[in-house]
Amino acid sequence: MNIGLFGYGKMGKMIEQIAQDRSHSIVVKIDDPSQDIDYSQMDVAIDFSTPEAAFDNITNCFKNKVPVISGTTGWLDKFSEAVNICKEHKSAFIYASNFSLGVNIFFELNNHLAKMMSGLNQYKVSMEEIHHTQKVDAPSGTAITLAEGIIENTPYESWALDKSKDNTIPIKSIREGVVPGTHSISYKSSVDTIEIKHEAHNREGFALGAVIASEWIHGKIGIFSMKDVLNLS
């Protein structure tokens, strides 16, 4: 399979290595939006670029009928518009805040636990996420996805960074060292605490998940998620 990479930083280079190890070819590497792009070479595009570049990268692929796997965060105010362009051009799209197979299982575990806790008002939920100092957005896209899962399954209505109030999930964001990503969710009462946690040991899991998603979406049309890829629906 021929893959186009949009964003050729640390994650792009790791995706390249894993894709080549799985007998795929990287035919285009885009790290500058002004580069000329030959979309006809690509079977699928993987976007780990920047919030500023992501929307144009993604939608230009759709307009050229190239399916897209995107893990870029910070651009989701235009997500619905991107989905409409994908449908209009009969392309295919998977966006995930985190492509790690373990994290996507963690998303499902989070949803299930939230359902179990939804009627237990004595427990108050909170979240903490830790990432390396080069990560600029806070909270992480993964933390937001986890918060949305709790909101969907409990009386909580919103999340807030470092703030705690009724019906709001407080999220603490820590930036230190070279931590690839740690997310923990706690339900605390006066008598005990229930906690679930996912700790990434390196970035390889994120890159592998993106390549697996690109293999899965090849030849498909529509809007999908990692739940489809992992058959978790």
Alpha helices in 36-92 (DSSP H): 51-63, 79-88
Catalytic residue among 24, 131, 183, 198: 131
Q: Is 131 a known active-site residue?
A: yes
Pairwise CA distance, residues 52 & 154, whole Å: 33
Which of 131, 16, 19 minimizes the C-alpha distance to 73? 131
Q: How do 124-131 and 182-188 pair as beta strands?
A: antiparallel
Phi, psi of 31 (to 5 degrees): -120, 5
- Helix (H, G, I), strand (E, B), or coil: what is residue 110? helix
Which residues are registered as beta bridge partners of 93?
Answer: 68, 223
Which of 203, 71, 83 minimizes the C-alpha distance to 145? 71
- Residue 210's H or E segment, with its range, is helix 204-217
Phi, psi of 97 (to 5 degrees): -70, -20
Catalytic residue among 13, 29, 89, 135: 135
Pairwise CA distance, residues 144 & 73, whole Å: 10
Q: How many residues are listed for the chain in this entry?
A: 233
Q: Which residues are catalytic?
A: 131, 135
